[in-house]
Structure 1
Amino acid sequence: MANNSNDIQRSALPIPDLAYTGTVTYDATSPDTKYPPIKRLLPPEGAPNVLVVLLDDVGFGASSAFGGPIHTPNFERVAAAGLKYTRFHTTAICSPTRAALLSGRNHHTVGMGGITEIATSAPGYSSVRPNNCAPLAETLRLNGYSTAQFGKCHEVPVWETSAVGPFDHWPTPGGGFEYFYGFIGGETNQWYPAIYEGTTPVEPWGTPEEGYHFMDDMTQRAINWTKQQKSLAPDKPFFTYFAPGATHAPHHVPAEWADKYKGKFDQGWDKLREETYARQKALGVIPEGANLTTRSEGIPSWDEMDEQLKPLLAREMEVYAGYLEYADHHVGMLLDALEELEVLDDTLLYVIIGDNGASAEGTMEGTTNEIFTMNHMTDMEDAAFKLAHIDDLGTPASYNHYAVGWAHAMDTPYQWTKQVASHWGGTRNGTIVSWPNGIAARGEIRNQFAHVIDVAPTVLEAAGIPEPSTVNGVTQRPYEGTPMNYSFESVDAPERHTTQYFEMLGNRAIFHNGWTAVAIHKKPWLASDHGLDDDVWELYNVEEDWTQTNDLAAQEPEKLAELQRLFLIQAARFNVLPMDIRSAERINADIAGRPQLLKGASQTFHPGMKRLSEGSVLSIKNKSFTVTAAITVPDGGANGVLIAQGGAFGGWSVYLTDGKPAFAYNVLGLSTDFTRSEKVLEPGEHSLVVHFVYDGGGLGKGGTVTISADGTDYATGRVERTQPFLFSIDETLDIGEDVASPVSSDYGPSDNQFTGEISWIRLDLGDDNHDHLIDQQHLVNIAMTRQ
């Protein structure tokens, strides 16, 4: 029996259990024995289901729902049943947008002034959400909602991402979600993803050859969870956060989806911007008088690009377009399931088409494999190489990203891209809201200013749930967003979110009563090279200048000064200060003041350990190292992987094949140096040792390999070149098998488990570390590309 849910005190969470104050009898059979029945906790009557869909790295000008060239019929389907918001904003980068969305507070308030990998001890940049800012999911769960998250989570502090937690900032349990199925970090290989169910790593059900893709997998999981939830608790609403990796790099998609767009982008990015701009005016998602901004400084024109590369560049965009349409298709599958369950009309649905502007992190020409750029090894990816691998784009044989020019085109009609919080190209994302049983309007446009922090208070107002004053005994900081519900029925309702600051990596802006003052500090592809006080501020009257094309700073110095002062007030209020444009200091955990999971020069692993991120493992790069494995070979011999780090696009592995020890070092998926023994490791206990002696003389050099067992040399070999910075963005170190894509071609992506017994494996580092030669700014660039 349900409770009278509207009479419950909901301001202090969890809702206290009230003691029974009636008569207690001696005998339960006494006629005076009367206890009220146990009542299930439910939200207030009429509270809707809530589904928030958040796409990744999609600019305002990508989706056909907002005039873009990419067919997104399911986004248009949602818009036809609801409202398009043309002035909805994000924070210009991934982790901060997600932290703000899920908390209802500004990103600096919840410690996410940057991405987790460059966190500092300053409150606004720690990556640690304070416990006085309980997430929306927790509030809904404690009010009787079922809660689940699917897809990307990039809000876990880096020192908490291992198997030992703590899990206070994971989706479950700390984030308030009862169920989580997805990946932790900025991106993952969509063909071979690093997946968690709850806090436990799990493996995909199949390989790409068997039809596996993470977008499809997470969708099926979401559908199955929803069907189970409605089967077992049909009167209990759900809150589902559906956050695909799409369309963040790598742009992985089945070829037939990319092939839909063959020839559609041969005109290049400049012409594409003009075409999109015309469609946007026709759709009414920008005013008739809005101007098309000029190409942002530093981005080459299409005509400037090498003619021989243009087929490759066009294919990059075809693959990206296919990826977005593929994501739209799967969102449609989820909507179909809700329709089948007859709950779609009673679901408050947000489709936020991008957590920031489109990504300009793919270089001026794009790449077949991001790891080239991250390892400063772009010399290995010249034009001839790229053209030779054009058919690999989007497939399991690539880890691809498109050129900066395409990113700018996807942000049409605005200036700049992701990372640039100063201009709308980095922060304005097309957003669609529908709730058929709660919003009467259909197919209409709303132009009121909104921000991602507005989602949480909107959901609570729709559900009739108050903001909690305390959660788990902690007094809560009020939401900083503005409910959008006022705009649901009125196109002319005066906007209520009238002031909003923006800041990311020194790029900053303030919106206030129809004006914006903005300052760009650095471009996404360049390092910071000057102080904040040297930045040039621009001023725009956005009521008259929708796209920020007419800089009024010189004509309106008093208005500019007023807004600059207001920015500083907001910055002080919301933990933006001190703004942090440092590079080396933020990479060095000791200087930055964040914890480190590992220290020392030796690490021991045990059977069953797997999915250990690079941050959870001592780094063997640019130095000598030794791997020692205490193993038992059974009668009949043994095969399989003892230890592997990385995958098909770079890594190393120690394994037995036909009973013979072997070591493989894979450089960027281009070449693999093998050291293989001709001698079989006989049955019995062994101490198998692989010793790598680094050549020295710089970063990424080669070295010599010796394989020995029980003091006897089995093989020697050479590694000609190593990866100096990163093996993989998402692939891991695994003991007893090599999960996801395989490092070595001597075994496949599955059934490569070691068939003997492992007692332990130890990794010891040499004392010839060359990491002091690393350009720290490059480490910052790696971190930013991974988010």
Structure 2
Amino acid sequence: MTDTAFQGRIGRTAAESEPWWPPEPRPASGAPNVVVVVFDDVGFAQWGCYGSTLATPRIDALAAAGLRFTNFHTTALCSPTRACMLTGRNHHAVGMRAISNFDTGFPNMRGAIPKSAATLAEVLRAQGYGTFMVGKWHLAPMHEAGPAGPFRNWPLGRGFDRFYGFLQGETDQFRPELVQDNHYVDAPARAEDGYHLTEDLIDRAIAYASDHVSAAPDRPFFTYLAFGACHAPHQAPDDYLARWRGKFDAGWDVMREHWFERQKAMGVVPADTVLPPPNPGVPAWSELTDNERRFAARLMEAFAAFLEHTDEHLGRYVDALREMGQLDNTLLVVMSDNGASQEGGRTGILDEMMYFNGMKQDVDQAVERLDLIGTADSHTNYPWGWAMCGNTPLKRYKQNTHAGGVRDPFVVHWPARVKDAGGIRRQFHHVVDIAPTVLEILGIEAPAEVDGVPQQPMHGTSMAYALADGAAGVPTRKGTQYFEMFGHRGLWHDGWKAVCFHALGADYDSETWELYHADADASESNDLAAAHPERLRALIALWWEEAARHGVLPLDDRRGAELFRSAQARGGSTARRDRWVLYPPVSRYNADVAPSTGARPFVLTADIELGAGRNGALVARGSSNGGFALYVRERRLVFDYNHFHAHTSVASDVELPSGPCTVGLRMAREGKSGTATLLLDGAEIGSVTIPAMAAMVSSTGMDVGRSTAPVCHDYAPPFEFEGRIRRVVFDIAPRTPKTERREALGTERRV
């Protein structure tokens, strides 16, 4: 039986019958391609066309031929912003209060978009568009991100025909954890051979477009291209890193002033805009030690190199569209998902996992490894001062509802429609407005039902009017937009903004709100709360109304063990498993679905037969920045523990037999240290004390029978095991309140 009822006529013979074919979905003649490009953790000022001195000539060229929106807003965090962009609904209403790693048991935080909120891909595919997703997804619950899925919340389950990228919030740019469609794949080349993820993503985006245009030239396509850049780790090829040596030695105070003056000269902010004082906790550059300045400057160099490299390869994609004759009729949007990141802390950090483990960066030690910054052997994030500079002239950062967290660069390029080349648009808009804009441009009504599921109404307001010539001075059609992230709250209404910075655990009703006339105060510098108390009270009351209307409640600022227990409570969570039995060959397990061994004792055993082989990895978790590996080197069992480049290793005192045997590792924990014991058929064959161990060992996952991201330099990837592995077993000690607190630390910092 077919899905559509037959509308012809059936007789006894074909001659007596009338055939009928169901109509195929076909976009309107001349319908444009739609490409949405999302950068990660790029602040308001960091593209050259928004005031910085960073090298983004290809984005600047798109802005010069298109439009810059200077009053565009996001949610302050990655997964929520992406959910809003794809659905046209506010993030709480689609279960994405924060990052998709968590399901707290409330409708506002499920970590997955419900079927009542169809994505742009689902809507456009039903209209005949080809749909492609390339890059960062981070819209599936992480317990569903293993090789067995379930795949319902992966890109192909949410309307995309093809997917190539990564599922989690970040990945190593030189050794990424890649997924193609619904299965994990290896990168097509090695870091040692010049591989970088950004280049690979662009290659794939071009291939999807060229395949589609060649095979179906009469059908437009929708591409969602989401870079890992410029989220940590900040990693770029060596020649890009070298270009920025010494360029930030003057420090963030000087750079911030310089960028601010450029913004005023460009018209990115009004000439009378005030530059606020530095954010709380940000020291003056002159107050830093020499080593702190050297470290901070080098971290910013890595960010600049990462951004320049990405911009250049985005340009390669634009060039490919032009060569295919597609660029003129492509609605191309380039944006960032939130403000610049505060996760590097006061000093910046050589490895972001140190931040997630609550460890402070020893800058005097870090400067001894300056040359690692930006390479495959680093996982860096810059300090608050550079993030503040990146958000110039706005207050605070990613995660906050002040403008530094939620006001972001937004460029629209569409030669066939946008004629006000280089124009600036100051209308207030929000990421939730993108989907309604696309649908209006395409002449598509938001469907009331998709696949039999009634749809939530869209919450956004179309921006299509602002693309027209002469629209620069037209008032915004947006009336109200709420903000909420981790208890930080805000509300924009008719040109005014009320905003509240939430202190963890503080009483929501007694916290201080600020009031800004946003239309006249671009940097939120003049707090008018005392001058207009009635207006502020009205906006706060309206915030609560909007919160109730859009599923924001309950407000939830839980951290630590309480949040950890809530997030792991659902039955499908892999973190609750204490025993794992793996039968190689198995796909790579990313960090969110790999056995959770970080804070607990465990025993790892592998039934192997080495035969004539001499080398190879048995189990490897992490990368050269941190992790552990159990492997065979010249027929001896070896264990290496990498605690942020501090290695502790032990090799067996006997060779392994050629025939079947069971090798293993027993890991005992004593506080933050431990003892690793090598085993052969149950007998101890080596032991070592590990002076420091991490609860959150790495954001890079686990290989069995190989090591695609080397934990140590004793071997080169992929270091495939030369014998046979019959099975691998993890037996992990049950959680205790103490180990739960340690695991919760990483969870808390990760949100």
Taking structure 2 as the reference length, what is the TM-score of the superposition?
A: 0.96
Partner of 1:26: 13
- Name the count of aligned residue pairs: 747
Q: Aligned pair in 2 of structure 1 residues 631, 463: CA closer, same or farther (>3 Å)?
A: same
The correspondence of residues 159-558 of structure 1 with structure 2, limited to 5 A, is 159-172=143-156, 174-352=157-335, 354-378=336-360, 381-421=361-401, 423-489=402-468, 490-522=471-503, 528-558=504-534
Partner of 1:724: 694
Distance in 1 (CA, whole Å) between partners of 2:667 and 2:735 is 12
Partner of 1:783: 750
Q: Aligned pair in 2 of structure 1 residues 497, 364: CA closer, same or farther (>3 Å)?
A: same
2:132 maps to 1:137? no
* 3-state secondary structure, aligned to 1:227: helix
- Select 2:729's aligned residue among 755, 762, 768: 762
Gaps of 5+ in 2: none
Partner of 1:626: 603
CA-to-aligned-CA distance 1:515-538 (integer Å, 9 cap, x gap): 11110114xxxxx14222232101
Distance in 2 (CA, whole Å) between partners of 1:57 and 1:189 is 15
CA-to-aligned-CA distance 1:541-593 (integer Å, 9 cap, x gap): 11222221111111111100100000000000011111101113212136866
CA-to-aligned-CA distance 1:230-260 (integer Å, 9 cap, x gap): 1101111010001100001110011222332
Q: CA deviation at 1:189?
A: 0.6
Does the CA contact (< 8 Å) of 1:52 and 1:241 recur in 2?
yes
Distance in 1 (CA, whole Å) between partners of 2:130 and 2:735 is 53
Does the CA contact (< 8 Å) of 1:188 and 1:250 recur in 2?
yes
Q: CA deviation at 1:450?
A: 0.8
Partner of 2:566: 589
Partner of 1:563: 539
Distance in 2 (CA, whole Å) between partners of 1:768 and 1:478 is 43
CA-to-aligned-CA distance 1:114-151 (integer Å, 9 cap, x gap): 11234311111222322111111111111110001111
Q: Aligned pair in 2 of structure 1 residues 312, 599: CA closer, same or farther (>3 Å)?
A: closer
State the percentage of identical aligned residues.
Answer: 37
Does the CA contact (< 8 Å) of 2:353 and 2:698 recur in 1?
yes
Distance in 2 (CA, whole Å) between partners of 1:431 and 1:747 is 44
Q: Aligned pair in 2 of structure 1 residues 600, 275: CA closer, same or farther (>3 Å)?
A: closer
Q: CA deviation at 1:402?
A: 0.6
CA-to-aligned-CA distance 1:595-629 (integer Å, 9 cap, x gap): 52353432111102232133323322344321221
Task: Specify the code of the residue in structure 1 equivalent to 2:195.
Answer: Y
Q: CA deviation at 1:38?
A: 7.0
Q: CA deviation at 1:347?
A: 0.3
Give the superposed CA RMSD: 2.0
2:735 maps to 1:735? no
Task: Specify the code of the residue in structure 2 equivalent to 1:458.
Answer: T
Does the CA contact (< 8 Å) of 2:104 and 2:567 recur in 1?
no
* 3-state secondary structure, aligned to 1:180: strand
* 3-state secondary structure, aligned to 1:738: coil
* 3-state secondary structure, aligned to 1:734: strand
Q: CA deviation at 1:36?
A: 5.2
Distance in 1 (CA, whole Å) between partners of 2:568 and 2:171 is 29
Q: Which piece of structure 1 moves more, 536-545 or 49-58? A: 536-545
CA-to-aligned-CA distance 1:271-327 (integer Å, 9 cap, x gap): 111111111111111111211122122222212211332122112112211211111
Q: Which piece of structure 1 moves more, 596-605 or 91-100? A: 596-605
Distance in 1 (CA, whole Å) between partners of 2:584 and 2:552 is 45
Distance in 1 (CA, whole Å) between partners of 2:676 and 2:297 is 42
Task: Specify the code of the residue in structure 2 equivalent to 1:485.
Answer: A
Distance in 2 (CA, whole Å) between partners of 1:768 and 1:407 is 37
Does the CA contact (< 8 Å) of 1:105 and 1:480 recur in 2?
yes
* 3-state secondary structure, aligned to 1:386: helix
- Select 1:573's aligned residue among 549, 558, 561: 549
Does the CA contact (< 8 Å) of 1:637 and 1:682 recur in 2?
no
Partner of 1:12: none
* 3-state secondary structure, aligned to 1:229: helix
Q: Aligned pair in 2 of structure 1 residues 762, 555: CA closer, same or farther (>3 Å)?
A: same
Q: CA deviation at 1:737?
A: 1.0
Task: Specify the code of the residue in structure 2 equivalent to 1:612.
Answer: Y
Q: Aligned pair in 2 of structure 1 residues 619, 462: CA closer, same or farther (>3 Å)?
A: same
Does the CA contact (< 8 Å) of 1:649 and 1:727 recur in 2?
no
Distance in 2 (CA, whole Å) between partners of 1:460 and 1:418 is 29
Does the CA contact (< 8 Å) of 1:87 and 1:450 recur in 2?
yes
* 3-state secondary structure, aligned to 1:124: coil
Distance in 2 (CA, whole Å) between partners of 1:768 and 1:97 is 34
Does the CA contact (< 8 Å) of 1:702 and 1:721 recur in 2?
yes
Gaps of 5+ in 1: 1-14, 523-527
* 3-state secondary structure, aligned to 2:189: coil
